[in-house]
Chain A
Amino acid sequence: MNDSQRAIDVRDVTKTYSLGDVKVEALRGVTFTIARGEYVAIMGPSGSGKSTLMNLLGCLDRPTTGQYFLDGSDVSTLGDDQLAAIRLKKLGFVFQGFNLLPRTSALKNVALPLFYAGIRAKTRNATAADQLREVGLGDRMDHKPSELSGGQQQRVAIARALVNDPAVVLADEPTGNLDSQTSEEIMALFHHLNDGGRTIIMVTHDEDVAGHARRIIRLRDGRIVDDQVTGKG
């Protein structure tokens, strides 16, 4: 695989939390690459380090040792504000709990990253509206989160993750708060996005949900124990 095709390149990354004298090794040397356009599920038992890995991939945290190249550049040693800039430009987040701003319309929620990018209100709203249409919520732009179903809220969150045209979309248990019917819809949406060329990395406990991905990385005790391409795609 050519370097320039790699969305993500993780080299021998460890993460150690120290709680006083006790050291918790959440990641004990993880190496993998993810190419552009891949759709990867990360699985593993509770406490295996999935969220820790996602936080590193999402530039919310720095590895204790090892290197992490995102979209071709080393981000493992950047400062807080530089990481914020990377998150703003290259990453999109989808959370289990949606994390939409309450009392704020779907349109404004989706436009939020563009606000921090310093884009004019008019352009912001137009781009956000396009994005909402793409996730099938063209008729819900002015609804507040409290006026939307869980599935719709997650669609708004996905639109927000996509609005800055990120290199990678990261989703930590995006269907964890949804019923199976709605989960299917969200999975279909992710599938559709991946078909359109989006790179998606998703943490899940659910084998059915993971089955939608084209590749599954399995973690145990902070190490990769399995990494295989599914029959999908």
Chain B
Amino acid sequence: MRLTQYFAEAFAVLAGNKIRTLLTALGLIIGVMAVIAIQVLGAGMSGAITGILGAFSDRTFFVLPNQQQADFTRAAIRLSDLQRAKYEVPNVVEAIPASAQNLRGSYGHTSRRVSVGAGTDERFAASTPIRYGRKLDPDDITLARHVCVITQKAAVKLRITGDPTGGSLRVGEHRYRIVGVLGASTEGILPGPAAYDVAIPYTTYEREFARARAIVFARVLMDDPSKVTETEIAMQNWLKKVKGGRVEYQTFDRKSFSKAIDGIFGAVTFVVALIGAVSLLVAGIGILNIMLVSVAERTREIGLRKAIGATRFQVLLQFFIEALALSAFGCLVGMLLGVAIGAFVNGQFIVKLSGITAPIPWARSIVIATGFATVVTLAFGTYPAWRAATLDPIEALRYE
């Protein structure tokens, strides 16, 4: 018994009925494509975000009052609290507001809406490269200077070409001297220096934009990053003590952020993969249907094959391999499309936007998708093949 022969015949049958083959395989193609693409994009996306978080200093954490609490006003954090915290909470070197707002910024004749945020010196950014000039320094902060550092994106937005350091940027009613331009950023999501188009010293920001308003959340810089958990607890307890009464705070650090994000992406990937799996299941039912039709149409042929001596197993094998060939075709096309779409979207959007090339589990994605598709095909292809194998040759030969 030669399996290659069975496959050759199966492919000949499929090729003899191209439209039907394509339509039947379409479900599989889409299913396999979706499952692969989703896994690839999921990996690319969560890799990018983990990468972004990875670029953020692990010496930083965030603290904010809980949204749901009895006395929200009492719990509000103010600049004066933060300035005391660095002296009173162990391991805290600096605590600053993480605040920003969108304002009209003008440079030369160009005027655009830009985000302006409270910045601090470079200890808070792990690895933001500088393109021109310098980052903010401790003197800028203590003297609350009218200086700013802009991102490369903001420079493009404001049509700044070349080195603008020393130039003047107008934001709202204030003018700031540009002291630096950041390079391509890997730190776009958390409120660090590169998260804002324009970063000014937080002291300046506080005086000119926030005034005495409550701080939504604060960034805390630690001396020893290994003590992050203790420091977070100490910070919360210290705030509770300072505010008095029943106030509640929460903290986020790089680890808890990436955990939360991994959780979200894990869930999203799982749900979408589940949808892909369901579509593969539906495709399996399509195969079941078309194989039953094919067996019915070829009843006389089956009768003939049995009459001339084909065993039940040989007939079973013939139709089983036909289903398998159909699935192989669907898997192959679906795989090519899935990989192409995954690679394209990942490369053109995720990598381009985040600047991070995450490792993509290609082999695993392909194996999961095609493996599941094959299992489904086997499950649904067996029944029609069994039907064919157990046909009575006399009745099959009489069938019109």
Q: In the complex, are the beta carbons of B307 and A101 less than 8 A apart?
A: no
The chain B residue sitting closest to A98, CB to CB, is B304
Q: In the complex, are the beta carbons of A115 and B5 less than 8 A apart?
A: yes
Interface-facing stretch out of B235-243, B310-318, B337-345: B310-318
Nearest Cβ on chain A to B305's Cβ, whole angstroms: 7
Among B16, B311, B397, which residue has its beta carbon within 8 angstroms of that of A84? Answer: B311
Nearest Cβ on chain B to A198's Cβ, whole angstroms: 17
Q: Which residues of the other chain, A, contact B394 by a CB distance below 8 angstroms?
A: 55, 60-61
Number of A-B contacts (CB under 8 A): 57
Q: Is A89 on the interface with B (CB-CB < 8 A)? A: yes
With an 8 Å Cβ cutoff, the count of chain B residues facing the other chain is: 21
Most buried by B among A88, A97, A115: A115
Q: In the complex, are the beta carbons of B311 and A101 less than 8 A apart?
A: no
Q: In the complex, are the beta carbons of A87 and B307 less than 8 A apart?
A: yes
Nearest Cβ on chain B to A15's Cβ, whole angstroms: 11
Task: State in angstroms the CA–CA spacing of A118 and B317 once bound together.
Answer: 14
The chain A residue sitting closest to B314, CB to CB, is A116
Q: Is A190 on the interface with B (CB-CB < 8 A)? A: no
Q: In the complex, are the beta carbons of B312 and A81 less than 8 A apart?
A: yes
Task: State in angstroms the CA–CA spacing of A179 and B292 once bound together.
Answer: 36
Task: State in angstroms the CA–CA spacing of A89 and B311 once bound together.
Answer: 12
Q: In the complex, are the beta carbons of A101 and B304 less than 8 A apart?
A: yes
Q: Is B212 on the interface with A (CB-CB < 8 A)? A: no
Most buried by A among B2, B16, B308, B397: B308
Interface mask (A62-103 → B, CB under 8 Å = 1, otherwise 0): 000000000000000000110011011101010101010101
Q: Which residues of the other chain, B, contact A117 by a CB distance below 8 angstroms?
A: 309
Q: Is B301 on the interface with A (CB-CB < 8 A)? A: yes
- A99 and B397 contact, Cβ closer than 8 Å, known pairs A115-B5, A121-B5: yes
- A93 and B308 contact, Cβ closer than 8 Å, known pairs A60-B394, A118-B1, A121-B5: yes
Q: Which residues of the other chain, A, contact B59 by a CB distance below 8 angstroms?
A: none
Q: Is A174 on the interface with B (CB-CB < 8 A)? A: no
Task: State in angstroms the CA–CA spacing of A173 and B17 once bound together.
Answer: 33
Interface mask (A114-158 → B, CB under 8 Å = 1, otherwise 0): 011110010000000000000000000000000000000000000
Interface mask (B22-60 → A, CB under 8 Å = 1, otherwise 0): 000000000000000000000000000000000000000
Task: State in angstroms the CA–CA spacing of A172 and B387 once bound together.
Answer: 26
Among B1, B303, B305, B397, which residue has its beta carbon within 8 angstroms of that of A112? Answer: B305
Q: Is B177 on the interface with A (CB-CB < 8 A)? A: no
Q: In the complex, are the beta carbons of B310 and A116 less than 8 A apart?
A: yes
Q: Is B300 on the interface with A (CB-CB < 8 A)? A: yes
Residues of B within 8 A of A (CB): 1-2, 5, 16, 300-301, 303-314, 393-394, 397
Task: Contacts A93-B307, A95-B397 known; list 10 others, CB within 8 Å.
Answer: A55-B394, A58-B307, A60-B393, A81-B313, A84-B310, A88-B309, A112-B305, A116-B309, A116-B311, A118-B1
13 contacts between A and B (CB under 8 A): A60-B394, A81-B313, A85-B311, A88-B310, A93-B308, A95-B304, A97-B300, A101-B304, A112-B308, A116-B310, A116-B311, A117-B309, A121-B5
